Structure 1
Amino acid sequence: MDQDLQYRQVAPHPALREFVDSFWMLYNASDEAKPVMGLPDGRIDLFLSQSATEPFGIILIGLGTHAVEAVIPPRRLMFAISFRLPGAEYLLQADVAGLPDAARQMPEDFMGFGQKDLDDFDAFCVKAQESLLALLPASMDERKRRLHELIHASHGAASVQSLSERVYWSSRQINRYFNQQFGISLKAYCSILRFRASLEHIARGRLFPELNFADQAHFIREVKKFSGVIPKELFRNQNDRFILLSAIARE
């Protein structure tokens, strides 16, 4: 990763793992703006941020369905919580159905966070985990729990029909749930997760399909649909512009 871009990631408390993917920070230590490409990863992100040119703010970003060009302003600091879909539904306390490929400015005290929480990333992680642990539901719809477990276990490679049969929930009802709760269909979400899993392989130079793509051509089309480039260019990652891929490569 570009040395001016400082990145850290922290795994959540075990009790939060089905709700939260990670806590992470990104800091542009340069006095210059950094152009980057954001890639779909199947997560919903809550950001706290400020920079040399922008005031403190809290932003909620919904599910991404394609690559997005962005610029990280100079001296921009971001702390974030990446929610899995159950976390967005049960812990986030905000409507995300209208947010695919979109962002929403949240109140500056949303979920009890404020500007001072950007002073220390480790302290932010502790506070965020304590707050989220307190919001854990006493119970959860078991069909939803099982559905999300199966989706992630297959890395999005399972068909909607097979998932429906295994959770005893009709495809029509599942898609209604996904569209109403998250703003996209289950099939679209599974495609995003399969792409995200493929990034693990591409980051290590394995430029061939390892999940349930029909063939190499199908794999290339899907990667290009979500990233805008073919796998070879994605792996090359010139100037570390695909920031998610750079982060994966460092793990």
Structure 2
Amino acid sequence: MTPITHIRTSYAPVQPFAAQPEETVVYREFLPDLRLQEYIYCYWQLNTTCALTAPFHYRVVADGCMDIFFELHDPRQSFIMGFSDAYTSFPLEGNFNYVGIRFLPGMFPRLFPVNAAELSRQATALDSVAPAIARFLADRFHEETGMPQLRSLLDSFLLAHISKALPADNRLLEAVDLIVQQAGMITLEKELPPGISSRQLRRLFECYIGDTPKAFSKVVRFQKILQFTHSPLHIRKNKLYLDAGYYDQAHFIREFKSLYGLTPAKVFRK
């Protein structure tokens, strides 16, 4: 099994969504074509079912990925959200219908050559980074585009585009795979892939992931904890935060809140 397959099968970036009263806001994820799944984790849609009477604050937690997103009401404006080691909150009002493409870690810069570090911790206008797909979204999408057609259009464009993808750097893939397999609990300087120095690895991570191996490991560790949201008592009773590499409960709470925007107690309460 290659490292790239390992990442897809062992790393599932979680984006929790709090259900709204009477389902006034809906979030859904959709798989892309099988041939795209080594690059793209999912397509997603966040939309209202009726006009909101109060602002909705959409929280995006740190997940190590990069996302293209746009509003179907005005696809001429599209954006790329870079790597972040903190949560992001977007205040939304009225009616909206956002669509996104979530790229697996390190994959967006292979498809659309760019230094990922230049996009980190911000939403950047897509036409300044990848004008071809920005034009495609502007020309082919409109507010009446349904998800089946939307998925088909995105698949077609991206399948044609993957032939232009930069070749994978196996040193980077192996390092990412090590971090994912170890749930972020690894000191890469001691377990470097063959033929690369810590400085070279840092440059590769900044170019393709958007930050350092340490920052990426922190996000992976946090994401692994989110897998246990179905069992909050198990986390507290068995002190799983210690097994996950946090020094103590205070360290766990502080880091979790910076990556999620809420304390573990509020997230895991049942």
Alpha-carbon spacing, 1:180–1:86, altered in 2? closer, same or farther (3 Å): closer
Instruction: Please show how residues 178-189 of structure 1 align to structure 2 within 5 Å.
Output: 178-189=205-216
Which structure 1 residue ranges, 5 or more long, are not aligned? 238-251
CA distance in 1, matches of 2:84, 2:205: 15
Alpha-carbon spacing, 1:76–1:13, altered in 2? closer, same or farther (3 Å): same
| Counterpart residue identity of residue 178, structure 1 | F
Contact kept, 8 Å, 1:50 with 1:57, in 2: the verdict is no
What CA RMSD, in Å, does the superposition of the two structures yield over aligned residues? Answer: 2.6
After superposition, the C-alpha distances for 1:177-200 in whole angstroms (9 at most, x for unaligned) are: 222444421101110121122122
Please, what TM-score do these two structures have when normalized by structure 1?
A: 0.80
CA distance in 2, matches of 1:202, 1:167: 36
Q: Percent identity?
A: 22
CA distance in 2, matches of 1:147, 1:12: 25
User: What is the number of equivalent residue pairs in this alignment?
Assistant: 234
Please, what TM-score do these two structures have when normalized by structure 2?
A: 0.75
Instruction: Please show how residues 170-185 of structure 1 align to structure 2 within 5 Å.
Output: 170-185=197-212
| Counterpart residue identity of residue 244, structure 2 | L
Contact kept, 8 Å, 1:28 with 1:34, in 2: the verdict is no
CA distance in 1, matches of 2:220, 2:122: 18
2:250 to 173, 196, 217: 217
Q: Any idea what SS the aligned residue of 2:267 has?
A: helix
Instruction: Please show how residues 164-243 of structure 1 align to structure 2 within 5 Å.
Output: 164=192, 166-205=193-232, 206-207=234-235, 208-209=240-241, 210-236=243-269
CA distance in 2, matches of 1:140, 1:116: 30
1:236 deviates by 4.2
**Equivalent residue, structure 1, for 2:138:** 114
Alpha-carbon spacing, 1:158–1:135, altered in 2? closer, same or farther (3 Å): farther
| Counterpart residue identity of residue 112, structure 1 | F
User: Is residue 163 of structure 2 the alignment partner of residue 143 of structure 1?
Assistant: no
**Equivalent residue, structure 2, for 1:155:** 183
CA distance in 2, matches of 1:28, 1:127: 22
Alpha-carbon spacing, 1:97–1:138, altered in 2? closer, same or farther (3 Å): closer
CA distance in 1, matches of 2:135, 2:113: 9
Q: Any idea what SS the aligned residue of 1:156 has?
A: coil
1:103 deviates by 0.9
1:138 deviates by 7.5
**Equivalent residue, structure 2, for 1:133:** 159
User: Is residue 101 of structure 2 the alignment partner of residue 86 of structure 1?
Assistant: no
| Counterpart residue identity of residue 192, structure 1 | V
CA distance in 2, matches of 1:204, 1:76: 33
Contact kept, 8 Å, 1:49 with 1:58, in 2: the verdict is yes
User: Is residue 57 of structure 2 the alignment partner of residue 35 of structure 1?
Assistant: yes
Which structure 2 residue ranges, 5 or more long, are not aligned? 1-18
Contact kept, 8 Å, 2:76 with 2:134, in 1: the verdict is no
1:29 deviates by 2.4
2:69 to 47, 53, 59: 47
